[in-house]
Structure 1
Amino acid sequence: MLATHLPDPPTLIGPIGVFNARALPMLAMRAACGFPSPAEDFFREDDRLDLNEKLIANPPATFLVHADCGGSMVDYGIHDGDLLIVDRSINARPGHTIVALWEGGFVVKKLYVRANRIVLASSAGFPPILVPEDMELDIWGVVRSSIHFHV
């Protein structure tokens, strides 16, 4: 079988300068899921939020990837097309959602250890992946956040 060359893990996605501040208007209060208060002021001049600052803790160790999981991660809040923010500087621990290289492709799964075996879990109805004891799992990073697009 011919081995295909896979790119090296993206430990660095570019110079820090790539992460320019892009402050967006931020409401000063939380959005109510019931009835909003008509007495609230909505935007003030200093209500700005830079999403890079909020979502990316370690820019040199962060990469982005779109989820293509066929519904297998819905129970964990990840849907097809979601944008995943993955941090390579976090040591993966049981319970973390990870991006791993598995059988020549990338998977997004929940990491667990059961009976001294590594288990990559999915949503209900999808079988977990039991990593063979003699196989090393190549974890590319831990998913810090996911962005779900509604339109």
Structure 2
Amino acid sequence: MSQQFAMRGRVAAWSDRAQKSATGLAERFRDLLGRRIGNAQLSGLNNIAHAAVSFEQVKDYVAHQGKKAENAGRFDVKEYWDEVGNALLGLEEEAWKLANEAGLSVPPKGSKPKEIREKLDWLYLWLGKEYVQHFVAHSLMLTRP
């Protein structure tokens, strides 16, 4: 129980720091928001992140959006989704660090990615929800006239 409480505090502190990165990403693509990236896509990302049972589902949604954009010849939108995907991939390393700092039993860095993913998927998803929430909220704010 105390580990869960400690983890909650660590994730809250991490979330505060991650907000800057998430809003920075939204700012980089400000010109696409509301024009090429609609509120429905942003809401869809937020909904998937909060309803997903695994982090893979969130990454799959982002990859699917990028593929749709590429197939439609909207390469600026594909670049947007690729960057969102890269940001999400970076969360896996962050989750490993947080879990290690909290003293949770995590496979060592040299372990197979599948082992690490299975052990830390819940934390990947938690960080993903936090990051996406910041990202989508700032993106929606940028679309307001």
Q: Which TM-score applies when normalising by structure 2?
A: 0.25
Could you say which structure has the greater relative contact order, defined with CA pairs below 8 angstroms and 6 or more residues apart? 2
Q: Which has the higher helix share?
A: 2
State the structure with more CA Rg: 1
Q: Which TM-score applies when normalising by structure 1?
A: 0.24
